[in-house]
């Protein structure tokens, strides 16, 4: 029998008005990959924050036993000294510092006031090779892709002599190829004796990589499944997470597309805001009808987000050219305010940095895009704002004790619903949803899919950008396929498969090669 490396016993953690964890028990054996799953708000990240010392000893009840000894971690440095290293979903890298500087930030090589830069970069290069990243450690972090940044975080963890690696949604921002490469890397580390705890909502990844799966629901341990003993199916995992079986991941919708074109884009071109000679959207033409969900699929870097943001009041890019027609009439959208006035809304893929003000209340965030809707002669009516927020909370089933609480305290799924509520209150005719279900669980995803279906049932139009091909196929009436800033294919939703979408992408990629 393998050695128990970690045991968390009867862990209880309470925040004001909320019991986040209720007598949770969790065991991890040395050398295994153990996944921790549950709905957003189930308590997974809270449990890992206790383990890593982010929530210090004394702020919770229960015991943390690591490597045979009870530990009283007061901060993250205490846990790192024992070889426990956590990599959060939001990467903690400084864009304008080099990879090497980031890797040893707070863990500098050399003596006090005298950093040994040669040692810093030599060691950084060594760990970059270990994780399979062929980049110089002197490269600025801002100049590498998100997938490569994720590998830098892992290299940074290895440089701290990690024995237990905790990864919170490590593939949430990665395409399928980069996700597979990262999971294979963890499997390689497992062979070398590294123990990993992986928080993920991607059930296919969990099935691929996990030795054991612990399911948490409403702050309590439901069960731990062992691949060598239990019959593990996606339906069983979902049933444990949400308390019920989900026979269909995508809600049924009777398509009621109206022939009227709500948005038409003609020969749209956009250049990069910093590297102005580089075209990121190349001669794109597309349209969406009333009552239609149109998907935009493509690999990371295909230009999907750049297209969406540039259409939304030119909020991205330079040297923008082309035509936008809304309701058959050509419009000039010079800024976000003009886009909103014309009935356009953009739900960003980055809810924490660009979508919500985390330090503000749910109430303020929901009304932010339509302050005139809660104002009288330029003065905000607090009672009306409160009533609007309550109404949106009920409509979208946002789980929170009060709309006065900071939106930053909500789980990821509820933050996403608050972001949707913000734009729904603006009453748009056309919604561009950029990765609307990224990093949220299957239950919350289903609720968001129902919201999308309700929007198009009302005659609105939705453009859905997603890296999850099954999501695009399951939700869309038509799908545009992008690669290298261009539209390279269009398929009807009923005829779409993962294979024919990827075939369009690979065909153009190989041509370019």
Q: Where are the domains of the chain?
A: 4-242, 248-343+429-513, 356-427
**Residue 508: its pLDDT value, please?**
55
Q: How far is CA 59 from CA 56, 211, 256, in A?
A: 6, 31, 53
CATH topology identical between 4-242 and 248-343+429-513? yes
Q: What does each of the 513 residues of the chain score in pLDDT, given as a tens digit? A: 689 999 999 999 998 767 889 999 999 999 999 999 987 678 888 999 999 999 999 999 999 999 999 999 999 999 999 999 998 877 788 989 999 999 998 888 887 678 899 999 999 999 999 888 889 999 999 888 777 888 898 899 888 888 999 998 888 767 777 788 889 999 999 999 999 999 987 888 888 999 999 999 888 999 999 988 888 888 788 788 877 655 677 888 877 778 899 999 999 999 998 878 889 999 999 999 999 999 999 876 789 999 999 999 999 999 999 999 999 999 999 999 999 999 999 999 888 878 899 999 999 999 999 998 999 888 999 999 999 999 999 988 888 889 999 998 888 788 889 999 999 999 999 999 999 988 777 778 888 899 999 999 999 999 999 988 889 999 999 999 998 899 999 999 889 988 888 788 766 544 544
**Residue 239: its pLDDT value, please?**
81
Cα(111)–Cα(210) distance, integer angstroms = 41
Whether residue 350 contacts residue 344, with contact meaning beta carbons closer than 8 Å, is answered with: no
Q: What is the pTM of this model?
A: 0.65
**Residue 245: its pLDDT value, please?**
59
Q: Which of 393, 336, 337 is nearest to 361 (CA)?
A: 393
CATH 2.60.260.20 fits 4-242, yes or no: no
**Residue 261: its pLDDT value, please?**
95
Helix (H) or strand (E) holding 51: helix 44-51
Nearest-Å Rg of the Cα atoms of the chain is: 24
Reduce the DSSP state of residue 376 to 3 states and report it: strand
Q: Which fold has domain 248-343+429-513?
A: Rossmann fold (3.40.50)
**Residue 509: its pLDDT value, please?**
47
DSSP string, 266-319: EEEEEE-SSSTT-EEEEEEEEEEETT-EEEEE--TTSSHHHHHHHHTTT-S-EE
> Which residues are CB-contacts of 485 (< 8 A; sequence separation ≥ 6)?
270, 279, 280, 281, 282, 284, 302, 303, 306
């Amino acid at each position: 029998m393998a050695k128990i490396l970690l045991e968390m016993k009867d862990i209880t953690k309470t925040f004001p008005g909320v019991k986040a964890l209720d007598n949770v028990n969790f065991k991890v054996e040395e050398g295994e990959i153990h996944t921790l799953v549950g709905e957003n708000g189930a308590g997974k990240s809270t449990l890992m924050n206790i383990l890593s010392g982010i929530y210090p000893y004394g702020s919770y009840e229960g015991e943390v036993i690591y490597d045979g000894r009870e530990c009283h971690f007061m901060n993250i440095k205490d846990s790192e000294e024992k070889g426990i290293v956590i990599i959060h979903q939001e990467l903690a890298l400084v864009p304008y510092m080099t990879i090497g500087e980031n890797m040893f930030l707070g863990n500098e090589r050399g003596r006090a006031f005298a950093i040994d830069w040669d040692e810093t970069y030599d060691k950084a290069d060594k760990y970059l090779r270990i994780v399979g990243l062929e980049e110089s450690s002197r490269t600025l972090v801002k100049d590498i892709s998100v997938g490569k940044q994720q590998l830098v975080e892992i290299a940074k963890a290895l440089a701290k002599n990690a024995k237990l690696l905790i990864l919170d949604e490590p593939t949430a921002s990665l395409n399928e190829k980069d996700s597979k490469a990262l999971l294979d890397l963890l499997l390689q580390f497992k062979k070398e004796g590294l123990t990993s705890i992986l928080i993920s909502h991607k059930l296919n990844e969990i099935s691929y990589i996990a030795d054991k799966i612990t399911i948490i629901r409403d702050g309590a341990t439901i069960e731990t499944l062992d691949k060598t003993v239990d019959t593990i199916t996606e339906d069983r995992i979902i049933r444990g997470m949400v308390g019920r079986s989900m026979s269909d991941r995508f809600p049924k919708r009777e398509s009621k597309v109206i022939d009227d074109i709500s948005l038409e884009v003609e020969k749209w071109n956009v250049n990069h805001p910093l590297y102005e000679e580089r075209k990121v959207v190349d001669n794109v033409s597309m349209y969406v009808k009333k009552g239609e969900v149109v998907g935009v699929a493509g690999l990371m870097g295909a230009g999907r987000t750049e297209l969406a943001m540039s259409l939304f009041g030119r909020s991205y890019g330079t040297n923008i050219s082309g035509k936008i027609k809304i309701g058959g009439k050509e419009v000039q959208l010079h800024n976000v305010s003009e886009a909103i006035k014309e009935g356009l809304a953009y739900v960003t893929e980055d809810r924490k940095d660009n979508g919500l003000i985390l330090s503000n209340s749910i109430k303020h965030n929901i009304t932010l895009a339509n302050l005139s809707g809660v104002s009288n002669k330029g003065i905000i009516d607090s009672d009306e704002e409160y009533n609007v927020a309550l109404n949106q909370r009920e409509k979208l089933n946002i789980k929170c004790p009060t709309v006065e609480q900071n939106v930053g305290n909500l789980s990821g799924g509820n933050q996403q619903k608050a972001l949707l509520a913000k734009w729904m209150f603006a009453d748009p005719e056309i919604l561009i949803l950029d990765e609307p279900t990224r990093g949220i669980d299957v239950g919350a995803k289903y609720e968001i899919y129902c919201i999308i279906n309700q929007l198009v049932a009302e005659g609105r139009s939705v453009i859905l950008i997603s890296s999850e091909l099954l999501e695009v196929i399951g939700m869309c009436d038509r799908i545009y396929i992008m690669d290298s800033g261009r539209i390279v294919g269009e398929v009807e939703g009923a005829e779409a498969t993962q294979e024919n979408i990827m075939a369009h992408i690979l065909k153009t990629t190989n041509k370019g090669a």
